[in-house]
Amino acid sequence: MSESEMKMPPNGTNVFEMPWLDFSKVVFPGMGRELAEQGLARAREGCEKIKAASEEMTQALRETYSSNARCTTDYGLKLFEISNANAASALDFFVHLFGSKSATDAYALSAAQARKVFDTASEQNKELWALAQKVATETGEPIRKHFTRGLHQDG
């Protein structure tokens, strides 16, 4: 096997299953062989633990990004919905304002619009806050779940 073949494993090959990592043909005298075999067994066990932890973290990140994308899309769509509703309300107000006959009508219409905008904004902020909490909770949930599972496996 050439030196370049030893450095780079072929695609899809587990680096821990490469022939260059097989020390079974190396000759160690007596006690040295036993110690080398124990060390190799521990190294393989450690590598397998690292591999399993890496796969677990990859899965957690995949779930986190998926959840984040879904929740962020919901939040963005709600912002568009709110923006559309607010623009329609503002246009409706201006149409009525330009149609008012007196300053008193314009003042009453403005006061009613201000109250409506305040109430609507309060409700919209509650909806956005609930969605933001959902984003935070659902984005962190996969990480928490995998972290907790990892603690229970190690403990």
Q: Per residue in 70-84, pLDDT tens?
A: 888 999 999 999 999
The yes-or-no verdict on residue 113 having pLDDT over 90 is: yes
pLDDT at 6: 46
The yes-or-no verdict on residue 86 having pLDDT over 50 is: yes
Distance of alpha carbon 59 from alpha carbon 62, whole angstroms: 5
Work out the average pLDDT over 19-42.
67
Work out the average pLDDT over 8-20.
52
Provide, rounded to the nearest whole percent, the portion of the chain with pLDDT above 70.
76
pLDDT at 57: 83
The yes-or-no verdict on residue 93 having pLDDT over 70 is: yes
**115-154 pLDDT, tens digit each:** 999 999 999 999 999 998 988 888 778 777 777 776 666 5
Buried b (16+ CB within 10 A) or exposed e, 83-101: eeeeeeeeeebeeeeeeee
**Choice between 61 and 29, residue whose per-residue pLDDT is larger:** 61
pLDDT at 89: 94
Write the CB contacts of 91 (distance below 8 Å, at least 6 apart in sequence): none
Work out the average pLDDT over 5-30.
53
